[in-house]
Amino acid sequence: MTTATAHLSWPRRAESWLDGYGKLGWIAAMVLGFILFWPIGLALLAYMIWGKQMFGKSCRSKMHHGTAAWRSSGNSAFDAYKSDMLKRLEDEQAAFDAFLKRLREAKDKSEFDMFMDENRRRRENEAREEA
C-alpha cells in the first residue's frame, strides 16, 4: 500500500482501485454485485449514475467536439496555417467527390452500354430464330 492510499478507508481504496480500471472496471464490479447479491449490484449502479456522474462528462465533451477545429488557438501563425490546411483539405474532399461522381457515371454508362449490347444481340437472335 502506498502512503497516498494508506490513510484512506477501504471503500475509498476500492473506489480508487476501480477508477484505475475505468468504466469497464465499475461495470464488471456492478455485474459481479448483481450475481453475488442483487442489492450490492443495485447500490453500485446507483453510485455509478449519481455519485460518479458516469454519463455527465462524456455527453458534455461530445457536444463541443465539432467546433474545436474552428476555434482560435491564440497563435496567429498557427491559426493561419490551420485555416490554410483546412481549406486545402476541403478542396481535396470536393475534388475527390467529383472524381467519385465521374467514376460512378462512367461505370453506369459502361453497364448501360453492356445491357444495350446484350439486348440488341438477344433481339437479333430471336429474329433469326423466327425466320
Burial class (CB in 10 A: 0-12, 13-18, 19+), 127: exposed
Mean of all residue pLDDT scores within the chain = 80
What percentage of the chain carries pLDDT values higher than 90?
34
Please report the sign of the dihedral spanned by the C-alpha atoms of residue 11, residue 16, residue 21, residue 22: positive
Kindly report, residue by residue over 17-64, the tens digit of the pLDDT.
877 877 788 788 888 888 888 888 788 788 877 776 555 554 444 445
Q: CB-hemisphere CA count at 13 Å for 89? A: 7
pLDDT of 66 reads 55
pLDDT of 95 reads 95
pLDDT of 6 reads 55
* Three cell numbers written together for 65: 467536439
